[in-house]
Homo-oligomer: A and B are copies of this chain.
Amino acid sequence: MELTVAEIAEMVGGEAAGDLGRPIRGAAAFDSAGADDITFAMSSKFEKKLAACAAGAVIVSRKPALDNTSCCLIRVDNPQLAFARLLPHFYPPARQAPGVSPSAQIGEDFTCGQALSVAAFAVIGNRVTCGDRVTIHPSTVIGDDVTIGDDVLIYPHVTILAGCRIGSRVTIHAGTVIGSDGFGFAPDGERYQKIPQVGTVQIDDDVEIGAVNTIDRAALGKTWIQRGVKTDNLVHIAHNVTVGENTILVAQVGIAGSTNIGRHAILLGKVGVSGHLNVGDNAIIGNMSGVGKDVPAGAIVSGAPAMAHTTWRRVHRDFPKLPEMKKRIAELEKRLAALENEIQARD
C-alpha cells in the first residue's frame, strides 16, 4: 500500500514540498510517526513542533512559513480532514464476509438488497426490510417491522426493537438499544401505572450512534435522530426527543423526554438536558452542564445550572474563593459596625 508523497498530495488535493518521490508506507500520530509514515498537524501548536517530527511527511495547513523543516510537507485547507480521508488507504477497513450465516435467524417476509452480511446468532424479526450492503454483526437483535437503508453497519449486541426506522449510511456501535420503552408512568396515588409507549424511533441518514446508547421509542409519534447526528458512548435519549441535523452528543449525555435539540449543536460530555426544552441551532453546551431551561440558537452555555459560558468562566474562577468572600463580608460587617458606633459616639 506504498504511496509517494506526490501521490498522496494528489489524493488529498494538497500541495507537496520536499522529496516528492519519497515512499510512505503507513500513517501514525504526530509524536510516534517514523520515517516511513505520514502524519498531520492538528493545529498551529503542532506546526510549531515540525522540526521535532520524525515523520516522512506531514499534512499541514496552507499557512506560510513552515519551511524550516526536513520532512516533506503537504499543504491542504483542512489537515485533519485530509488525513481522515487518507487513513483507509493505509488501514483498509475489515469487512465482515458477505452472506447470511447459517446460524443467524431471519423471520418471515424479509426483504433485502445486494451484498447483505448477517453474522452468527443475529436475529431478524418478521417483515424487516434492508437496503444494499447492510452488515449485521453477531448477536444483534432486530425486531419486527424494522426498516434499514443502504450501507448500514450494525455492531454486535445491538438491539433494535419493533417498528424502528434506520436510514442509509448509518453505523450503530456495540451494545446500543434502539426502541426501548420511554419512561412513562402515571401516578395512581401510591403506585405507578405504565403508559404504553406506542411510538417509534426514526434515525435518518448518515447518523453514527456510539456504543451502549439507549434511544427510547416515543410515547406516541416518534423519537427522531436527524441526518448526520453523531453520538458518543453511553448516551441516553428519552422518548419524543428530536436531535437536529449534524448535532454532536458526547459521551454520557442524557436528554429527557420531548426536548428538541437543534441542528449543528454540540453537547459535550455528561451534559444533562431536562424535558420539554428547546436547545437552539448551533448551541454549544459545555462539559457536565445541567440545562434546565431553553438555550437560544448560537448560545454557548456551561455549568450546572447552565449559564452563558463567558459568565461561567468567571464564576468557575471565583467559586473556590467563596469561603474567603464570606470571611471578607463578615470582616466588613465588623469594621462597618465599629465605624457606625464611633460616628454615633461622637454625636
Contacts and interface: CB of A to CB of B under 8 A. Distances in A.
A138 B162 contact: no
Given A157-B141, A196-B93, A236-B252, A326 B325 contact: yes
Nearest to A93: B196
Counted per complex, copies of this chain come to 3
A339 B342 contact: no
Nearest to A91: B198
A228 B326 CA distance: 44
A61 interface: no
Interface stretch (A10-18, A62-70, A76-84, A110-118): A76-84
Interface stretch (A46-54, A128-136, A203-211): A203-211
Given A175-B214, A318-B323, 4 more contacts: A159-B175, A191-B206, A288-B304, A317-B323
Interface of A: 27-29, 32, 78, 80-81, 83-85, 87-88, 90-91, 93-94, 103, 105, 119-121, 123, 137-139, 141, 144, 155-157, 159, 161-162, 173-175, 177, 180-181, 183-188, 190-196, 198, 206, 208, 210-212, 214, 216, 219-221, 228, 230, 232-234, 236, 238, 246, 248, 250-252, 254, 256, 264, 269-270, 272, 274, 287-288, 290, 292, 303-305, 307-308, 311-312, 314-323, 325-326, 328-329, 332-333, 335-336, 339-340, 342-343
